[in-house]
Structure 1
Amino acid sequence: MDITQLILDDHHEQRRLFSILEQIDKSDTVSLAAVWRRLSAFLEVHAETEERFFYPALMRVGRKANRTEEVEDESLDAIKDHNEIRDAVAAVESEINGTEAWFKAVAAANKANGDHMAEEEREGLTEFRRLAPLALRHDLAVSFISFETTNVDGVVPIDKDPKKWVETH
């Protein structure tokens, strides 16, 4: 088991759930609400799990490999992205389910999340696979999946100050 693969698997599931929303009839607000409830909880749990396990580990291994600036910049950007995703999810919640405004807000959340995932896959995950030994990636994967499954129904979304977060970790 490898934390980078678990993160990629989560990304696939997020893309799948956004795609499902696009395929549900606009008048089927019950189904839209159910899928959105699952997706919005999943997005927050995923972000919180990365912030607890992946990004602190990325910074530790990066600093040890004399790549401090790169890993701190990647982590800073990721926390900022997570805040933007949280804000986009909150914007969806403020709209009436199934309306054009709701779908527009969902599309904005999808874009914010998609941009973050693409960057993370290109940078943070690649960097971590290069720097972290497989045993560490396995141990983090166990913690990652344990936290996600324990909190499957969601966690409270809390924006974090990216600079303070990086300094703390």
Structure 2
Amino acid sequence: MMDITDLILTDHHEQRRMFALLEEIPAERTDALASVWGRLKVLLEVHARAEELLFYPRLLKLQQDRINIETPQAETTDAIHDHNEIRDAIAAVAGNPVGSDSWQRAVSKVNEVNSDHMAEEEREGLTDFRRHVSRDERHTIAVDFCAFEAEHASGITPHDQDPDDYVAANE
């Protein structure tokens, strides 16, 4: 049985792996860097959008966890803000020649903001889901999440969302 929390963790592992690959490719291999980066930025955006459509709306329906300090609303607001920050960092990569020092710094910034987001999500939202959402529902969300990622494997147009508007629309 699939579980959305496991699926998100698997995506996070793949993102970390691809950032590590970028760090190991020599700067002069601009073709390889561009290819890996192109795939990674698609994965990041499709993953974020799938979370916004399928994971966070359900997280917002949870009650305050007795252990976790933040409310589901605060977690979600922060996550949507993080997604915007990741999108902005990705957009900043485009203005740099592939493989250049400035390009590598820009990719490193994407890695930094994405890593911060993943760590927070793994400590909070995924934990809340495991504690409060049934395995059957986590399975159903995972199936929809997989389908969304497969349908959009070639990418989607990124767009920032106002975190407060997002929470209000999905509560």
Would the TM-score normalized by the shorter structure come out above 0.5? yes
Match of 2:166 in 1: 165
Give TM-score scaled by structure 1 length.
Answer: 0.96
Give percent identity, aligned residues only: 52
What is the CA–CA distance in structure 2 between the aligned matches of 1:44 and 1:136, rounded to whole Å?
Answer: 24
Match of 1:50 in 2: 51
- SS in structure 1 of the partner of residue 54 of structure 2: helix
What is the CA–CA distance in structure 2 between the aligned matches of 1:155 and 1:2, rounded to whole Å?
Answer: 24
Give TM-score scaled by structure 2 length.
Answer: 0.94
Which blocks of at least 5 consecutive residues in structure 1 are unaligned?
none
> How big is each residue's C-alpha offset from its partner over 1:72-103, in whole Å with a ceiling of 9 and x where there is no partner?
00000000000000000001111110000000
Which 4+ stretches in 1 moved above 6 angstroms? none
For 2:105, the aligned partner's letter is: K
Q: CA deviation at 1:60?
A: 1.5
Q: CA RMSD in A?
A: 1.5
- SS in structure 1 of the partner of residue 160 of structure 2: coil
Are 2:21 and 1:20 aligned? yes
What is the CA–CA distance in structure 2 between the aligned matches of 1:61 and 1:148, rounded to whole Å?
Answer: 24
Which blocks of at least 5 consecutive residues in structure 2 are unaligned?
none
Normalized per residue, which structure has more helix?
1
Are 2:127 and 1:139 aligned? no
For 1:28, the aligned partner's letter is: R
What is the CA–CA distance in structure 2 between the aligned matches of 1:121 and 1:167, rounded to whole Å?
Answer: 23
What is the CA–CA distance in structure 1 between the aligned matches of 2:103 and 2:109, rounded to whole Å?
Answer: 10
**Aligned residue-pair number:** 167
